[in-house]
Amino acid sequence: MAAKHIFDTPPEGVAADWTMPQDWQAFTAEQHRTWRTLFDQQSAALDGYACADFLRGLDILRSLKPGVPDFAELNRHLKPATGWEVVAVPGWIPNQPFFEHLSNRRFPAANFLRPPEQIGYSEEPDMFHDIFGHVPMLANPAFSDFLVAYGQAGLRAERLGASDFLGRLWLYTVEFGLVVEQGELRAFGGGLLSSYAETLAALTSPEPRRIWLDIERVMRTKYNFDEFQRIYFVVAGFEELLRATEETDFAAVYKRIAGEAALEPGDAFAGDSPYDGGLQPVRPRPAFMTQETRG
């Protein structure tokens, strides 16, 4: 089944800024059970693979009543702790409002949840991906400032017609980024952390390439939507990620790479700096992980 929550104009009931009432009361008992199953499985499986900031940030979600998060309740915990709030959107929204929300410390979260028959794999980012995968990282000040800087860079990229290049930076950091923490490799990207299977592959498999983050290299690199990534970018810390973003002249990078061929995900490049640290050991697979859990 193809992704269906992709929009060009606000559908009925959605405001001009693409926000909408969450209507939390409309979520069914089955949907609340799906959320609890996903949350319990993923949070138990990620210990030792997710970065410490993500694991600490999960406490914000654990403080909520069980089931699908009520965004009003979530924001009462999230905003005092991080300065951010979550806003409900219908799904995949256009670049301009997405960047504007990030610039103003509003994290857009899809207002739908995958059905039970797709609990192991969602073909499009749903509420679980957005809330479980991304919200815990907002508790890290440097990472949350990076998201604001990214949103501001996105608004400039829209004016320059360069949003596709910037989108690759999002995919390879916010979705699939890896960080070195006390000498060990950990996941911080939401596309990884909402997927046990790809987190395991990213941190333990010898097959994908892992290189230190270089923003220009990232912007030249294609990515995979429907399979595990074949390359992952590593940062030494979130302060470094923020600093690199603030110090990069994005307009100059766009100009340099505009005429260059995009790199395939598995391609090597002359300027690559491979991550040469060790991989994480494979831990026993949790008993409940009986099917694919990517997405």
Residue 288 domain flag:
no
Would you say 64 and 70 are in contact if contact means Cβ atoms under 8 Å apart? Answer: yes
- Residue 210 belongs to a domain: yes
Residue 287 included in any domain: no
Indicate which CATH number applies to the domain containing 32: 1.10.800.10
Specify the DSSP element, H or E, that contains 77. Answer: helix 71-82
Q: The domain containing residue 212 runs over which residues?
A: 24-257
Give the pairing of strands 178-181 and 184-187.
antiparallel
Q: Is residue 39 part of a domain?
A: yes
> Per the domain annotation, does 266 fall within a domain?
no
Q: Name beta bridge partners: 87.
A: 108
Residue 7 lies in a domain: no
Going residue by residue through the chain, which has 295 residues, state the pLDDT in tens, using 9 for 90 and above. Answer: 456 888 889 999 999 999 999 999 999 999 999 999 999 999 999 988 999 999 999 999 999 999 999 999 999 999 999 999 999 999 999 999 999 999 999 999 999 999 988 887 777 899 999 999 999 999 999 999 999 999 999 999 999 999 999 999 999 999 999 999 999 999 999 999 998 889 999 999 999 999 999 999 999 999 987 789 999 999 999 999 999 999 999 999 999 999 999 999 988 898 899 999 888 888 766 554 544 444 4
Q: Is position 264 within any domain?
A: no
Per the confidence metrics, is the pTM higher than 0.85? yes
- Assigned domain for 142 exists: yes
HSE, side-chain direction, 13 A CA sphere, residue 77:
18
Query: How many structural domains compose the chain?
Result: 1
